[in-house]
Chains A and B, each alone.
Chain A
């Protein structure tokens, strides 16, 4: 066996250039694969965490038709009873109730359709991190009367500055058109400029003064201990209360949940592509090696080398080559990943900072690779190598010494 490994190793270096190319291909392939998978994972995770923590939360409760219609009279019935129930459920970390209505924003420049979001600052800040999106001015905890926070994008479109006034118009719960003026306290910038263009924030108490004669809420956003518990939690809520719909973040944001799934598929594809390239590289190199060594192998069979040993000799050659390449590739990949997990990968090189904000992505990504994924990639590489070297090895043992002499 040791001698067979020696033969394999020396045969590999019989064509240093050819073997080096394959080695480099394996190393680069694996490195790129791990980085790509890690980056994709990181990107998905960051996107998911951000969306959940800043805005969507793990679960939300609405009037069954509110999300489709956005009318102010579609508020949550029995809000206080639900709130009491949430207070007593150990799975709930925090929750916040929001008063929402679709309406119009008017400035001297133009009119835009917006969703007006009335927030309870205290519980909102406990539940989400949206306040971290502030880029200019003050948040809703300002002393300013009738304060409103605009997305930076929307403010730019309307040529508005902090301290300017805008008018919000909407239907109250009696279907009567109501208008009120608000003072711009600050600007926010979330990960999605589309969101920034369509959402304005005000204090829920200011909103309720003009919207209804009592406290009404259209949305309860709930953070749970753990994302895994969302489905069961939502099911409990739906069976406990009628006249509402509770949904998990996956249901609330199909785009997000699809994105996460897409990420998984991408990871799968990246891995497959690299593996297919790897398989062809090995197959090609080994077939070339085999064809130029037909006479040698036929001589070995003639003098009495068993076909099993010939098989092992050929297999070992690809295995030694792959193990060398794969080991190097993994060490490099692991080191790079370790570095990037701390420093992050700056995606600016692919598109400007602006471009990423446009589609709602962070510019820095912190790659994530689970042990399971490492193990999976290693197993796939080993399997692919074995499969790709099987064909040349099987061809080698079918060599008929007499045929080769011709």
Chain B
């Protein structure tokens, strides 16, 4: 069973006034363990597609299934709960709670899930170690670089043990080195723990790291191909 499956997914903004066809009959299916990037020119519908898959936006027509559960048409409160337990998010910016430390930010999502306190602390520490922030656990977002903040966001997304992690241009605000570092971490998680990632990007170097590349043009899937991704390089981590 695919982790994500869209059926004839369409989205029209402002249907009454100036209709914008942000998505046109998108049919994609993402399997567990895939490392997929969604690319395409600006305005091609990448963000719209990710928002649909993540249950943040509602399609005009068509459906989205996550792990066999149709989320299209779900009640708002149910959808929020579904996101909490099934989908990890890494946004382009404003990912973290500013008044919380890295550790608290990672624990917070597990707290929302109602997990055991002890387990929470331990897992937060482990994950921060994994993303290379073992020494910044008590730092607040304002005291961290953009790259470090994005890594906390990845740790937070992983902490909730989601079916997959969605990331809309996670490297857009990062310099080259930080972007590659973040990609390294994501790639390693994918290889070692089979975490499923779906992310959008403009960055050629980031695209090269993806196994599967879905190209959007004008709201439709233009191409969908598997490539030999550049391997994760331990020395760069």
* Contacts from A to B (Cβ < 8 Å): 3, 7, 10-11, 14, 295-296, 299-307, 309, 401-402
Distance of A107 Cα from B76 Cα, bound (Å):
93
Of B57, B84, B98, B109, the residue contacting A296 (CB under 8 A) is B98
Contact A302 B85 (CB under 8 A): no
Q: Is B129 an interface residue (CB 8 A)?
A: no
Distance of A354 Cα from B11 Cα, bound (Å):
82
Contact B97 A7 (CB under 8 A): yes
Chain A residues with CB under 8 Å of B99's CB are 7, 10-11, 14
Most chain A CB inside 10 Å of its own CB: which residue of B77, B87, B91, B160: B91
In the complex, which residues 41-87 of chain B have their Cβ closer than 8 Å to any Cβ of chain A?
A: 51, 54, 56-57, 76-77, 80-85, 87
Q: Is B197 an interface residue (CB 8 A)?
A: no
In the complex, the chain A residue whose C-beta lies closest to that of B79 is: A304
Most chain B CB inside 10 Å of its own CB: which residue of A7, A11, A299, A303: A303
Contact B57 A402 (CB under 8 A): yes
Q: Is B94 an interface residue (CB 8 A)?
A: yes
| A-side interface mostly | helix
B161 to chain A, nearest CB (A): 12
A11 to chain B, nearest CB (A): 6
A320 to chain B, nearest CB (A): 13
A14-B99, A296-B98, A299-B95 in contact; A306/B77 too (CB < 8 A)? yes
Contact A303 B83 (CB under 8 A): yes
Contact A304 B83 (CB under 8 A): yes
List, sorted by A's number, 12 A–B pairs whose CB atoms are closer than 8 Å.
A3-B108, A7-B97, A7-B100, A295-B94, A296-B94, A300-B97, A302-B83, A304-B112, A306-B80, A306-B112, A307-B80, A402-B56
A3-B111, A296-B98, A402-B51 in contact; A303/B89 too (CB < 8 A)? yes
Beta-carbon contacts of B184-211 to A below 8 Å, as 1s and 0s?
Answer: 0000000000000000000000000000
Of B57, B89, B98, B156, the residue contacting A14 (CB under 8 A) is B98
Chain A residues with CB under 8 Å of B54's CB are 302
8 A-B pairs with the lowest CB-CB distances in the bound complex, closest first = A304-B84, A10-B99, A295-B94, A304-B83, A303-B89, A299-B94, A3-B111, A304-B80
Distance of A64 Cα from B100 Cα, bound (Å):
80
A14-B98, A295-B94 in contact; A302/B81 too (CB < 8 A)? no
Tell me how many residue pairs across A and B have CB atoms closer than 8 Å. Answer: 56
Chain B residues with CB under 8 Å of A300's CB are 97
B42 to chain A, nearest CB (A): 15
Of A10, A296, A305, the residue contacting B112 (CB under 8 A) is A305
Chain B residues with CB under 8 Å of A7's CB are 97, 99-100
Chain B residues with CB under 8 Å of A3's CB are 108, 111
A14-B99, A401-B56, A402-B56 in contact; A305/B80 too (CB < 8 A)? yes
Chain B residues with CB under 8 Å of A309's CB are 112
In the complex, the chain A residue whose C-beta lies closest to that of B93 is: A295
Distance of A300 Cα from B84 Cα, bound (Å):
10
Distance of A296 Cα from B108 Cα, bound (Å):
14
A14-B99, A401-B56 in contact; A299/B91 too (CB < 8 A)? yes
A404 to chain B, nearest CB (A): 9
Given A295-B94, A296-B94, 19 extra CB contacts under 8 A: A3-B108, A7-B99, A14-B99, A296-B98, A299-B91, A299-B94, A299-B95, A302-B89, A302-B91, A303-B83, A303-B84, A303-B109, A304-B85, A306-B84, A306-B112, A307-B76, A307-B77, A401-B56, A402-B51
B96 to chain A, nearest CB (A): 8
Chain B residues with CB under 8 Å of A306's CB are 77, 80-81, 84, 112
Beta-carbon contacts of B88-121 to A below 8 Å, as 1s and 0s?
Answer: 0101001101111000000011011000000000
Distance of A146 Cα from B214 Cα, bound (Å):
119
Distance of A305 Cα from B108 Cα, bound (Å):
10
In the complex, the chain B residue whose C-beta lies closest to that of A298 is: B94
Distance of A307 Cα from B76 Cα, bound (Å):
10
Chain A residues with CB under 8 Å of B109's CB are 303-304
Chain B residues with CB under 8 Å of A303's CB are 83-84, 89, 109, 156, 160
In the complex, the chain B residue whose C-beta lies closest to that of A12 is: B99
Distance of A299 Cα from B153 Cα, bound (Å):
11
Chain A residues with CB under 8 Å of B91's CB are 299, 302
Contact A296 B77 (CB under 8 A): no
In the complex, which residues 2-24 of chain B have their Cβ closer than 8 Å to any Cβ of chain A?
A: none
B236 to chain A, nearest CB (A): 29
A382 to chain B, nearest CB (A): 26
Distance of A212 Cα from B82 Cα, bound (Å):
101
In the complex, the chain A residue whose C-beta lies closest to that of B112 is: A305
A177 to chain B, nearest CB (A): 90
Distance of A303 Cα from B77 Cα, bound (Å):
12
Chain A residues with CB under 8 Å of B97's CB are 7, 296, 300
A209 to chain B, nearest CB (A): 90
Distance of A7 Cα from B105 Cα, bound (Å):
11
In the complex, the chain B residue whose C-beta lies closest to that of A7 is: B99
Contact B77 A302 (CB under 8 A): no
Distance of A300 Cα from B91 Cα, bound (Å):
11
Chain B residues with CB under 8 Å of A301's CB are 80
In the complex, the chain A residue whose C-beta lies closest to that of B107 is: A3
Of A10, A296, A302, A305, the residue contacting B56 (CB under 8 A) is A302
In the complex, the chain A residue whose C-beta lies closest to that of B47 is: A405
